[in-house]
Amino acid sequence: MSELWIAVTIGAAFAQSIRFMLQKKLRQRRLGTVAATFARFLYSAPLVALILLVYARQSGQPVPLPEPRFWAPAMIGGAAQILATLCVVALFSHRNFAVGITFKKTEVLLSALVGLVVLGEGVSPAGLAAMAVGFWGVVLLSDPPDRSGAEPFLRRIFNPAAGLGLASGVFFAVSGVGYRAASLSLPTGDALLRALLTLAVVTAAQVLAMAVWMGWRQRDQIVAVIAEWRVAALVGVTSMIGSIGWFTAFTLQNVAYVNAVGQVELIFSLLIGWLVFSERISRREWQGLLLLGLSILCIVLLR
């Protein structure tokens, strides 16, 4: 049971890769960045609430009543997740699918720092070294292959897409730590029940907040999300599956370790980029993937 979080994290990473692929497809249609993000929450919120009620009944557990200390980290985490997802979806217009996801992975080291500051949860020296190896893999993957050698390396790395990626990493780190803090604050329930309740509350709040914003500024995009329901509903389903996995893993394990193993998503993303979007994988990207794979293996074995 102590290693369950690893399998749950890998499953969540796969579901998230599929969800980002579908969101890119939505972004390529008539949906803007905000609408493609809203689709994720709108179609997953009812499913999460239903699964929460069914699981609580089938497992014979009462749904715990959140205490006051639950709300601040839950709402901060929810707001940070919206901003992080907006950054990732916006990335798709700058760089290819796999590299866009790569920028997001700056969250690994950032979540270690946020977790230490907020929850007092540190990582081992071996774990930190493994994360550093993975971070260098991210740097290799973030170098645009079509411009390699055309201009200095630092100039290629520090570009608008990198700024969006770093911002998404910060926001995802804050959201992960916030969700863990909220879930652990619940008085009763096993890990899955705590994760489901936290997810249900957060997703409902996210739908409400984004619906109010879009009703005020982008009402036509709400209609577009509903019109694209076939793909948008799949975004909601894959988002629900991935989120349940992430929330459960965050409840079971330190957020930094979960995010480090979650880098396996990059392998899935590159395969999706190759198979679905006909994107080539460069030699530098293969080198980055090798370092990421080594980092993940070390996290699992040496943490």
60 φ/ψ sector (left φ>0, alpha ψ -120 to 50, else beta): left
The closest of 147, 165, 9, 31 to 87, measured between CA atoms, is 165
> Are the CB atoms for 119 and 185 separated by under 8 Å?
no
Rounded to whole angstroms, how far apart are CA atoms 179 and 185? 10
* Burial state string for 283-299 with b = 16 or more CB within 10 A and e = fewer than 16: eebeebbebbbebbebb
pLDDT tens per residue across span 241-289: 988 998 899 888 888 888 888 878 877 877 777 777 676 767 777 777 7
pLDDT tens per residue across span 12-36: 988 888 887 776 776 666 677 788 7
Taking 50 as the threshold, does the pLDDT of residue 1 lie above it?
Answer: no
Taking 60 as the threshold, does the pLDDT of residue 151 lie above it?
Answer: no
Please tell me the total count of domains within the chain.
Answer: 1
The pair phi, psi for residue 188, each rounded to 5°, is -140, 175
pLDDT tens per residue across span 290-300: 777 788 777 77
Q: Give me the chain's average pLDDT, please.
A: 80
pLDDT tens per residue across span 88-135: 777 766 655 555 566 666 777 778 778 877 777 777 777 778 877 877
What does DSSP assign to residue 146? G
Taking 80 as the threshold, does the pLDDT of residue 196 lie above it?
Answer: yes
Give whole-number Cα distances, 149 to 94, 145, 194, in Å.
19, 9, 50
DSSP letter string over 129-176? Answer: HHHHHHHHHHHHHHS-GGGTTTS-HHHHHSSHHHHHHHHHHHHHHHHH
HSE-CB for 83 with a 13 A CA cutoff: 17
Domain that holds residue 142: 4-302
> Are the CB atoms for 271 and 96 separated by under 8 Å?
no
E strands, the chain, in order: none
Task: Give the distance, in angstroms, between the CA of residue 20 and the centroid of all CA atoms in the same chain.
Answer: 9
